[in-house]
Amino acid sequence: MIMRANWRAALIAILAVTGMVWLIGGRTDPSSIRLRSAPAGLTVNDGATLFAAAGCANCHTDRPHGGALLAGGRALVTSFGTFYTPNISSDRDFGIGRWTDIDFIRALRRGVGPTGKDYYPSFPYPAFTQMTDDDILAIKRYIFSLPPQRRADRAPVMHFPYRIRAGIKLWKIIYLREGPIEPDPDKTKEWNRGAYLVRAVAHCGECHTPRDLLGGVETNRRFAGANMAVDGVKAPDITPDPKAIGRWSVDDLASYLDDGLTPSGDIAGGAMAEVIRGTSALSNEDRLAIAVFIKAQAPIPPAPMQKMSQGG
C-alpha cells in the first residue's frame, strides 16, 4: 500500500513535469515529420507480409468474438487499464480512411494521432518506430486495399492516473527512441535483417522482455522472459541460455516460426500461436535471419520464479 502511495505521488510529480513539457514543447507539429526517402516500389504484397509479421490484425480484430478484420474492439486487459483497440480499417468515418501518408507514419513513428492525441504504448509504436518509411507505407497501402469496416471505437477504461494522456508525453521522453533503425556495419547482412524484423516489425521484445514499473522494457534483460502486459500470461525466456532455448539450433527456431513445432515436440499456443501465424507468412530467409539474430543474443538465465512448463 505504501509503495502504491509513493508510486502515485511520484506519478503526480511526473504529471506536473509533463504539464510543463506540454506547455513549453507544445503539440507535435505535423509538418516536422518528413519522409526520409520517397516511398520506393514496395508492392501491396510486401505490405501484406509486413502487416502479417507485425501482427496488426491480431490486436485490431476482435477475433475472440468473431469481429471483422481490422474493425477493432478487441479488449486488451493490462494492469494500467483495459484497452479496446481502435478500428484501423480503411473506412472513412469509423476507420483511418481519411488519413494521409504523413498521418500514418506519425502514428507508427511517434505514437501521435492526426489531432495530436498521444497513444498509449500498448500500441507497440516503440517497436514500429524503427521501421523504414517505405515499409510503414507498404503496410498502409495494404490496409487500404482491405474492405472498410463500419464499427465505432470504444474508449479505453484506464485506472488512475494512467487515464491522463498527457503523461504519455513524459513516458515518450524517457523511453521512445525514434527510428528508423540503423544497420550495424560490423554485423552481417543476415543479422541486420533479423534485428530489423525482431525489433521493428515482429516486436518480439514487447512480450519477451520484462518491463520496469513505468512499463518501459528493461534493456539489460532483453528477451529474458516476462509476464506479458496483456493478460499477465508468461512469455518465456528466449535467450540462448541452456535453461531457455540454448539447445535449439538456428534451424529449430526458424522452423518454429513457421509451424510452431518445438524441438521437444510441443506446439506453440496462446499469443505465440498468433505471432507464428504472422511469421509463417515471411520467407524462409527472413525466418532464418530472425533466428540468427535471436541466437546471437547474450544468454540470460530465466528469472527464478519463472519455471516454464506447458502441456495438456
Partner 1 sequence: MMRSVAGEKAGDDWWPRPACGRIDLHHEVEGNLALKIGVCLTRSIVCLILIGLIVSGWSEPCAAEDGLAATKHRQTVMDRLGDDMKAIKRYVTGQADQAAALSAAQDLDETASLVPSLFPKGSDSAKWPGKSAAKPEIWDNPDDFQQLLQALSAGTADLRKSVGTGEATNVQSSMRALAKNACGACHENYRGRRDGE
**Footprint of partner 1 on this chain (CB under 8 A)?**
64, 227, 232-234, 251, 255, 258-261, 263-270, 273-274, 276-277, 280, 306-312
Closest to partner 1 by CB, 87 vs 306, is: 306
Helix/strand/coil for 118: strand
CB of 29 to partner 1, least distance (A): 42
CB of 190 to ligand HEC, least distance (A): 15
270-278 contacts: CB < 8 A, separation 24 or more?
A: 270/233, 271/58, 271/207, 271/228, 271/230, 271/233, 271/235, 272/235, 274/55, 274/58, 275/55, 275/58, 275/202, 275/204, 275/207, 277/52, 277/58, 278/52, 278/53, 278/54, 278/55, 278/58, 278/202
Residue 83: contacted member of partner 1, ligand HEC, none (CB under 5 to 8 Å, by partner type): ligand HEC
Closest to ligand HEC by CB, 224 vs 290, is: 290
CB of 46 to ligand HEC, least distance (A): 13
CB of 139 to ligand HEC, least distance (A): 5
Binding positions for ligand HEC, rule: CB under 6 A: 54-56, 58-60, 76, 83, 85-86, 88, 96, 107, 113, 119-120, 122-124, 128, 139, 156, 198, 202-204, 206-208, 228, 233, 235-236, 238, 245, 253, 256, 262, 268-272, 275, 279, 290, 294, 308, 310
Residue 256: contacted member of partner 1, ligand HEC, none (CB under 5 to 8 Å, by partner type): ligand HEC
CB of 100 to ligand HEC, least distance (A): 12
Residue 124: contacted member of partner 1, ligand HEC, none (CB under 5 to 8 Å, by partner type): ligand HEC
| H helix or E strand, kind and range, residue 110 | helix 101-110
CA dist 143 and 164 (Å) reads 30
Angle, CA 168 vertex, CA 163 and CA 170 arms, to 5°: 130
CA dist 248 and 257 (Å) reads 12
Q: Identify whether the C-beta of residue 248 lies closer than 8 Å to the C-beta of residue 265.
A: no
Find the Cα–Cα–Cα–Cα dihedral 174, 55, 274, 74, rounded to 10°.
80
Closest to ligand HEC by CB, 195 vs 253, is: 253
C-alpha cell at 30: 505535423
Closest to partner 1 by CB, 273 vs 298, is: 273
CB of 24 to partner 1, least distance (A): 42
CA dist 253 and 289 (Å) reads 10
Closest to ligand HEC by CB, 156 vs 180, is: 156
